[in-house]
Structure 1
Amino acid sequence: MSEKLARHRQPWKPEELQKLRALAGKGKGLKEIAKGLNRTEESTKDAAREHGIVIAKLR
């Protein structure tokens, strides 16, 4: 099974949220952050919104 399917609809772990905050804080774009977390752009954007994390470049 591919990694993408294995991660489908999995809850966000605290370590992932911490990495999301760190990458967003460095000014990384949505696409780069999502790739670094092995998550979809949509999932990454939703998690950021839900946890009050601002992503500078959404595209």
Structure 2
Amino acid sequence: MSDKVAKHKQPWKPEELQKLQTLAGKGKGLKEIAKALNRTEESTKDAARLHGMNIAKAR
């Protein structure tokens, strides 16, 4: 089993939201951001939407 398991249903910490905002602001894609935060793409997308952030579309 992998040591890096996605944080299933775990609340977002302020530092994770800051990193999400930083990466989204740099134009990173959903898959890349989710991997960097060790979160699922769905959770990352939901958190971004909830906090008014836009994530770049995959190219």
Which interval holds the TM-score relative to the shorter structure?
Answer: 0.7 to 0.9
Deviations 1:19-58, CA, capped at 9 Å, x for gaps: 0000000000000000000000000000000000000125
1:4 corresponding residue in structure 2: 5
Percent of paired sites with the same residue: 78
Higher helix proportion? 1
CA distance in 1, matches of 2:12, 2:41: 14
1:27 corresponding residue in structure 2: 27
Runs of 4+ in 1 over 4 A off after TM superposition: none
TM value normalised by structure 1: 0.87
CA distance in 1, matches of 2:42, 2:58: 10
Paired residue total: 58
What is the SS of the residue equivalent to 2:10?
coil
- Write out aligned runs for 1:31-42 (5 A): 31-42=31-42
TM value normalised by structure 2: 0.87
